[in-house]
Amino acid sequence: MPRNAITALLPVASLLLLLAGCAPLEPVHTEARKLNAASLDAGKAIRAASTDGAWPDAHWWQALHDAQLDRLVDSALAQQPTLNIALARVRQAEAVAGLSRASTQPRVDAAASASRDRYSANSTVPPPLAGNYAWKASATVNAGYDLDLWGRNRQLLAAALDEVQIASAEAQLARLTLASAIVHNYVQLALQYALHDSAELSLAQRQRLLDISRKRYQAGLASELDVRSMETTLASGRRDIEQLEESMALLRIQLAALSGKGPGDGDTIARPVLSLAAGQGSAVPASLPAELLGHRPDIVAQRWRIEAAGARIGAAQAAFYPNINLSAYAGVQSLGFSHLLDGHSAMAGVMPAISLPLFDAGRLRNQLQEQGALYDVAVEQYNASIVQALSEVANALVRINSVHEQQALAQQAVEVAKRQQQLAEQSYRAGLSDAQTAISAQLTVLNEEQQQAVVASKQLENYTLLMTALGGGIKLELP
Domain 31-104+150-321+362-469 annotated CATH 2.40.30.10: no
Is residue 301 classed exposed, middle or buried when 0-12, 13-18 and 19+ CB atoms within 10 A define those classes? buried
**Per-residue pLDDT reduced to its tens digit, 74-113:** 999 999 999 999 999 999 999 999 999 998 999 999 999 9
All CATH 1.20.1600.10 domain ranges of the chain, comma separated, are: 31-104+150-321+362-469
What stretch(es) of the chain map to CATH 2.20.200.10?
1-30+106-147+325-355
CB 477 within 8 A of CB 303: no
Q: Checking DSSP bridges between strand 133-146 and strand 107-118, what pairing results, if any?
A: antiparallel
Assess contact for 226 and 439: CB atoms under 8 A: no
d(CA 329, CA 331): 7
Regions of the chain short of the pLDDT cut 70: 1-26, 278-279, 361
Any idea which fold 1-30+106-147+325-355 has?
Outer membrane efflux proteins (OEP) (2.20.200)
Please report the DSSP string for 115-158 in residue order.
EEEEPPTTSSPPTTTTTSEEEEEEEEEEEEEE--TT-HHHHHHH
Q: Report pLDDT for 175.
A: 95
Q: For residues 76 and 358, give the distance between their C-alpha atoms in angstroms, rounded to a whole number.
A: 56
Which residue type, as a one-letter code, is found at position 349?
G
End-to-end CA distance of the chain: 41
